[in-house]
Amino acid sequence: MLNGEWLTHILVALSAGPLHYNELHAAIQDMTTFDPWTGTVRKIQSRALGRTLRRMETAGLVDRVEERTFPRSVVYSLTPAAADLLVRAQPLIDWAEENLDLIERLQKTLEDGDPPQGDDRSD
């Protein structure tokens, strides 16, 4: 249910309140100009956003309201369950921000092709 490349971006963008589809797309574009994990610039495609939103709606994380306007307008918002999820995830987010040096060191190790230290598996 929580697996997906853009799921966390959508949760964070909608945490500020309901957004029209185009506003949501723009908000995600603004927060994903650079991916520190891969060192690349990333942009969400409209198709990927729509697919992820449908999956999140089915999972009960996002509400979708179609406004009766012309042209058609759709507004997305977090469900109470998704808002609760964000509150509970905050300590993990805080830990990651406080230990960014560990995360960056692991990323560099993986990029260099070396197994992380302490990986004593003898497969």
pLDDT for residue 117: 59
Upper half-sphere CA count for residue 114 (Cβ side, 13 Å): 9
72: which 2 tokens? 């058609």
pLDDT beyond 90 at 105: no
78: which 2 tokens? 């977090």
Better-scored residue on pLDDT, 9 or 19: 19
2: which 2 tokens? 């929580």
pLDDT for residue 110: 74
pLDDT tens track for 40-87: 777 888 999 999 999 999 999 999 999 888 888 899 999 999 999 999
What predicted TM-score, i.e. pTM, was given to this entire model?
0.71
Of the candidates 26, 24, 32, 15, the one whose C-alpha atom is nearest the C-alpha of residue 74 is: 24
Of the candidates 67, 66, 80, the one whose C-alpha atom is nearest the C-alpha of residue 14 is: 80
Spatial distance between the Cα atoms of 12 and 88, rounded to a whole number of angstroms: 13
User: Please, which residues bridge with residue 64 across strands?
Assistant: 76
pLDDT tens track for 108-121: 787 777 665 555 54
Listed in sequence order, the residues at least 6 apart from 15 whose beta carbon sits closer than 8 Å to its beta carbon are 78, 83, 86
Spatial distance between the Cα atoms of 30 and 27, rounded to a whole number of angstroms: 5
